[in-house]
Every structure is written in structure tokens, then in C-alpha cells.
């Protein structure tokens, strides 16, 4: 279908605001441009706490969100998007709040190390450290160690998917579900969706090329399944929820990953949102389908993580 009518003025606003060309701007300029003002009234949750998990290069900051109601709650480890280079706990705070409140699960938003200062596999190792810490301290956190899931959007979806592979490789901690929002699953920038939607729709092919160059500077290493999960063996991975956007360069690799998991016998719920662009999940209040997508994700997490 055509672009959703709500997307057209949004694209004009984004064009007017301008996002620095990552090939020309400094890292500080890029990261500052990726910070969006929070809502005047954040979605309420029972509590939000700043915690730390011991990591391979020092403490990994974790923002812990508790939902209303008695525990122990299931837990979702969340990884923010931003091409492995930009984004932080604040950039995705409202999205995480809404998912926490809507799903009834606790959320641990992980502030993994960013590239290019910390290239692959630093972010993934931070994610593994956070998962191991959460499982080990489940009782203290008020969570159920048997109901831990991973989730993330874009590059965060890549980390969530790769973490499922790494956990299987290392023998735990067990993960019950993976929720992947327009995930990066491969380094092929010549798919049909890249060719059709790689320019003028917020995320561009040139931007993704630059992000890959920062995260995995050696192109030969981009075949590693921990960098490109689509290249991995999917047997025995956790059930998945995968969401893509029709006008997103990453659409085809998200759909391909759903098929890849299904071919290995992994249960998958896949949904492509028509007329939407990359990043739409966090644009509630501007795009009606953002709320629809969040509600679907919450329902999927509630079902997947029910006691």
C-alpha cells in the first residue's frame, strides 16, 4: 500500500529538522541529534530504578522498570536501537514504559557499550552479562528466572536475536522468548527493501552502511552469526515475535529471519505494518499504528511469558 497518510507530514518534519550525515558529523553531534524530547507525562509504571550489572569492561548500567501488581514478574531484557552507535536509555524510555505497563512484565533496559569506541562484540557481551546477572539475582529483583525474554528494535533487535544464539552456545541462562522490532539480521544492503526504500524514508542505505562500518569494521566478520543472526543455525532458539515496517530498508531481512526461524521449527508470530517507516514503534501520538504495534507486542509478551 501507499505510505500511511500520517507518515507524510512526519517525514517533512524530519527532513526540516535534519539528521546529520554520519559520514561528516562528529559522534557527539550524531548522538545529540538522536535524543528526542520526552513526553510531558511519562507512562506510569510501579517503579524505575538505576541498577548495574557486572560486565566484561566494567559495570553495565541497567534501568529496571517494575509493573504494577505482585511478583515475581517475567522479565524482558531490552536493547535500544540506534545503529549500535547512537541511542541510550533515555531515547527509548517512553517505549519501554509503555511495553512494561502493557505487558505486565518487568523490563531491564541495557545501556550497552556503543561503537565505534567499542565495536563488535562488545555490545553483545554487555547484553550477555546483563542476562546472566538478571538470572542470578532473580529473587532480589522480584522476577521469575524461568520467564526471561529479550527484545529490541533495529540494532537492538540485532543484539536481542544474537543474544539468543550466544546463550545457546554458552548453555544459559535460558531465554523464554525473543521480540524483535524491525531487526538488523544481516549485512546484505542489496535486498529488495533496500533498493525500494533505501532513500528519503528516515533510515537510508548509506546510514546503514556507515553503521555497519562502525560496529563491525572488518567486512569479513559480518558473516559471523553473532553479528548477522540470519547466517546462524536457528535450531532450538526461543519462540519469536517479529515486527517489520513496509517502507523500511530492513523489512526484508526481518521477514527472512521469521522464515529462517520457522524453517528450523521455532514458533514465530510475524507481522508487517503497512505504510509504516523504520522507527515508527516509538512515535505514539504521531502515528496511530505505533499504538497498534505496541499493543500487539504487549499481547504477545503477555501470552509468551504467562506463568
Does the active-site annotation cover 278?
A: yes
CB atoms within 10 A of CB 10: 18
Which one is catalytic: 197, 248, 252, 260? 248
Would you call 248 a catalytic residue per the annotation? Answer: yes
Coil, helix or strand for 58? Answer: strand
- The secondary element (H helix, E strand) that includes residue 148 is strand 143-153
End-to-end CA distance of the chain: 39
Candidates 154, 177, 197, 224; catalytic one: 154
- Which of 163, 202, 151 lies closest to 34, judged by CA? 202
Run of H or E residues at 52: strand 47-53
CB neighbour list of residue 120: distance below 8 Å, 6 or more residues apart: 84, 215, 216, 221, 224, 226, 227
Return the active site residues. 154, 248, 278
Amino acid at each position: 500500500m501507499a505510505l500511511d497518510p500520517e507518515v507524510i507530514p512526519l517525514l517533512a518534519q524530519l527532513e526540516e529538522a535534519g539528521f546529520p550525515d554520519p559520514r561528516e558529523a562528529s559522534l557527539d553531534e550524531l548522538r545529540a541529534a538522536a535524543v528526542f524530547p520526552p513526553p510531558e507525562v511519562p507512562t506510569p509504571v510501579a517503579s524505575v530504578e538505576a541498577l548495574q550489572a557486572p560486565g566484561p569492561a566494567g559495570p553495565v548500567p541497567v534501568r529496571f522498570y517494575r509493573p504494577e501488581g505482585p511478583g515475581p514478574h517475567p522479565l524482558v531484557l531490552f536493547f535500544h536501537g540506534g545503529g549500535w552507535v547512537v541511542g541510550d536509555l533515555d531515547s527509548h524510555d517512553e517505549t519501554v514504559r509503555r511495553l512494561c505497563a502493557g505487558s505486565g512484565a518487568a523490563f531491564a533496559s541495557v545501556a550497552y557499550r556503543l561503537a565505534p569506541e567499542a565495536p563488535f562484540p562488545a555490545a553483545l557481551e554487555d547484553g550477555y552479562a546483563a542476562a546472566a546477572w538478571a538470572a542470578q539475582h532473580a529473587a532480589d529483583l522480584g522476577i521469575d528466572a524461568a520467564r526471561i525474554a529479550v527484545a529490541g528494535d533495529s540494532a537492538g533487535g540485532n543484539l536481542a536475536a544474537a543474544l539468543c544464539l550466544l546463550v545457546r552456545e554458552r548453555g544459559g541462562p535460558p531465554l523464554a522468548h525473543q521480540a524483535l522490532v524491525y531487526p538488523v539480521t544481516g549485512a546484505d544492503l542489496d535486498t529488495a527493501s533496500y533498493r525500494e526504500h533505501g532513500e528519503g524514508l528516515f533510515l537510508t542505505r548509506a546510514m546503514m552502511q556507515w553503521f555497519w562500518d562502525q560496529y563491525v569494521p572488518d567486512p569479513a566478520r559480518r558473516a559471523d552469526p553473532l553479528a548477522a543472526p540470519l547466517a546462524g543455525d536457528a535450531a532450538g532458539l526461543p519462540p519469536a515475535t517479529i515486527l517489520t515496517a513496509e517502507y523500511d530498508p530492513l523489512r526484508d531481512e526481518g521477514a527472512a529471519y521469521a522464515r529462517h526461524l520457522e524453517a528450523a521449527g521455532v514458533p514465530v508470530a510475524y507481522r508487517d505494518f503497512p505504510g509504516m517507516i523504520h522507527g515508527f514503534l516509538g512515535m505514539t501520538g504521531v502515528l496511530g499504528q505505533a499504538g497498534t504495534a505496541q499493543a500487539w507486542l504487549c499481547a504477545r509478551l503477555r501470552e509468551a511469558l504467562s506463568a
